């Protein structure tokens, strides 16, 4: 059994895999990590390996303390990946983006792939059919957009996606916001949806035969609103982390 850990900017996502099958997924904050890992190990006593991909601020020592019971592996820029990194500054490419690119290559061979990860940031990663990682884009995610409007203005309130969902359920939302709150919701949600659709359309103009993979914490919410046909999988990074680990071991 394998315990895969994705340390993000906001949360830690963890999954237990057996023979490539995701058995259970967990989400928690960084200060809860040691306790939660222990609880998982007590529940799944056959876990033998721990693999970590991190872009967050969790210290390695929090994982190394499990070395007596688990083989601990960290995905780094030196890890062998199933693609050629053509990024102009390869060592600045986030490990999470590299893992996503790896999963896209391993799951969807012989085609162009665009991976969109909608979390704290929205990242776009393009890997061509020859397995070259070309690059992509980074923009603020939904939560960051709400926070920036509040933090960098004098009077705009801090709103959230949860409030948008409540307002939307009551059928009070329109793309033309008739209050300050609804104008913020319209700007944030319609802005990010149109950004993603517009980015996809730019790729369509240059490339054919490519799959669009949408993942991240906001993937399910956004998938219902995009005009383009996508493959949505909120667990894609964890699955890609498992596949990258298996690929590395095979080599």
Please tell me whether residues 80 and 70 are part of one structural domain.
no
Q: At which residue do the structure tokens 């967050």 appear?
A: 56
How many angstroms separate the CA atoms of 86 and 8, rounded?
24
Structural domains counted in the chain: 2
Of the residues 74, 93, 113, the one at which a domain ends: 74
Q: 206 or 168: whose pLDDT is higher?
A: 206
Q: Is the pTM here over 0.95, yes or no?
A: no
Please tell me whether residues 58 and 120 are part of one structural domain.
no
Q: Which pair of tokens denotes residue 200?
A: 């996809």
What is the full DSSP assignment across 55-77?
-SS--THHHHTTTTTSEEEE--T
Share of the chain above pLDDT 90, in %: 78
Residue range(s) defining the domain that contains residue 25: 2-74
Report the CATH number that the domain containing residue 97 is assigned in CATH. 3.30.420.40
How many angstroms separate the CA atoms of 98 and 101, rounded?
5
Arithmetic mean of pLDDT, 37-41: 93
Assess whether 117 carries a catalytic annotation.
Answer: no
Please tell me whether residues 54 and 122 are part of one structural domain.
no
Arithmetic mean of pLDDT, 165-174: 71
Residue 34: the pLDDT is: 85
Judged against a pLDDT cut of 70, whether residue 240 lies above it is answered with: yes
Starting at the edge strand found earlier in the chain, the sheet holding 49-54 runs 21-28, 12-18, 2-7, 49-54, 71-74
Judged against a pLDDT cut of 70, whether residue 157 lies above it is answered with: yes
Arithmetic mean of pLDDT, 211-218: 95
Residue 52: the pLDDT is: 94
Average pLDDT across the chain, whole number:
92
Residue 9: the pLDDT is: 81
Of the residues 74, 100, 119, the one at which a domain ends: 74
Q: 251 or 71: whose pLDDT is higher?
A: 71
* Catalytic hit among 6, 19, 31, 96: 96
How many angstroms separate the CA atoms of 182 and 167, rounded?
9
Judged against a pLDDT cut of 80, whether residue 173 lies above it is answered with: no
Judged against a pLDDT cut of 80, whether residue 123 lies above it is answered with: yes
Please tell me whether residues 101 and 21 are part of one structural domain.
no
Please tell me whether residues 144 and 54 are part of one structural domain.
no
Arithmetic mean of pLDDT, 160-183: 83
* pLDDT tens track for 73-93: 999 999 999 999 999 999 999
């Amino acid at each position: 059994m394998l315990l895969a850990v994705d340390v993000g900017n906001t949360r830690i996502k963890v999954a237990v895999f057996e023979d490539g099958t995701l058995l259970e997924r967990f989400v928690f904050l960084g200060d809860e990590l040691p306790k939660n890992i222990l609880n998982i190990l007590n529940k799944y006593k056959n876990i033998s390996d721990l693999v970590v991909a991190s872009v967050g601020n969790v210290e390695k020592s929090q994982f190394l303390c499990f070395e007596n019971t688990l083989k601990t592996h960290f995905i780094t820029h030196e890890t062998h990946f199933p693609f050629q990194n053509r990024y102009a500054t390869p060592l600045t490419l986030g490990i999470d983006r590299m893992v996503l690119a790896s999963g896209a290559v391993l799951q969807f061979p012989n085609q162009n792939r665009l991976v969109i990860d909608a979390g704290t940031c929205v990242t776009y990663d393009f890997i061509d059919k020859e397995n070259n990682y070309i690059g992509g884009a980074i923009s603020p995610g939904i939560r960051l957009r709400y926070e920036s409007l509040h933090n960098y203005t004098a009077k705009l309130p801090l709103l959230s996606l949860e409030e948008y969902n409540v307002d939307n359920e009551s059928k009070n939302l329109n793309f033309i916001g008739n209050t300050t709150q609804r104008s913020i919701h319209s700007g944030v949600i319609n802005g990010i949806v149109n950004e993603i659709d517009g980015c996809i359309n730019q790729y369509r103009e240059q490339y054919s035969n490519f799959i669009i993979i949408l993942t991240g914490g906001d993937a399910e919410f956004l998938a219902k609103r995009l005009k383009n046909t996508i493959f949505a999988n909120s667990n894609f990074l964890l699955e890609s982390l498992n596949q990258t680990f298996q690929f590395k071991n095979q080599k």
